[in-house]
Amino acid sequence: MRVGLFSGSFNPVHVGHLALANYLCEFGWVDEVWFVVSPRNPFKQGQELMDDGLRLQLVRLAIGDYPRFRACDVEFDLPRPSYTIHTLDKLREVCPCHEFHLIIGSDNWEGFPRWREAGRILAEHRLIVYPRPGYPVDEDSLPPHVRFVPAPVMEVSSTFIRQAMAEGRDVRFFLHPRVWEEIVKLRIEN
């Protein structure tokens, strides 16, 4: 099975994440997308993160019963900070029958040479690069196992959602309804 690995802090997961993953499944790029919730991205040190378990719970609420999505907490048991190469090695070890495709935005593709063991990732794994505003991709220059996917672009980010909520704005339509309900419930309880 072709499994797309969509790693991120998902702080919180939003409709842009879900729409991209849905596009990749429904338009034949992968058979499933696993949302790999990252405890701490080495490139995002200092960013305020919701609790790991809460972010995983929100992903599970967001993906609901859609059969082609899974929430994945593999990085919770790996050394921190979390490096993609370690995640890929672990998943290949525990799920050898799957063909994993790492899903990254064109912004991350631009900085990919700085990733830990980037050369080994390219040599041993397949990558799917999706468009991000301001980060064009020259498809003709991509390595053999890297494919550019012309997915629709949604300019929404978790940072935008957190800032808007901190300002007291109602951004429910940027989140899955179950995620919005859970966040509102937690804010009322705290």
Reported as a single tens digit per residue, the pLDDT across 97-136 is 999 999 999 999 999 999 999 999 999 999 999 999 999 9
pLDDT greater than 60 at residue 186: yes
Name the residue ranges covered by the structural domains of the chain.
2-189
Give pLDDT, residue 167: 96
- Least-confidence region, from 29-43, 96-110, 114-128, 170-184: 29-43
pTM of the predicted protein model: 0.93
Give me the torsion for CA of 132, 49, 70, 102, rounded to 10°.
40
User: Was domain 2-189 assigned CATH 3.40.50.1860?
Assistant: no
Could you give the 3-state DSSP secondary structure of residue 122?
helix
The token pair at 186 is: 């937690």
Q: Give the tens place of pLDDT for each residue, 53-94.
A: 999 999 999 999 999 999 999 999 999 888 999 999 999 999
DSSP SS3 for 21? helix
Beta-sheet strands, E only, within the chain? 2-8, 32-37, 69-72, 99-105, 126-130, 146-148
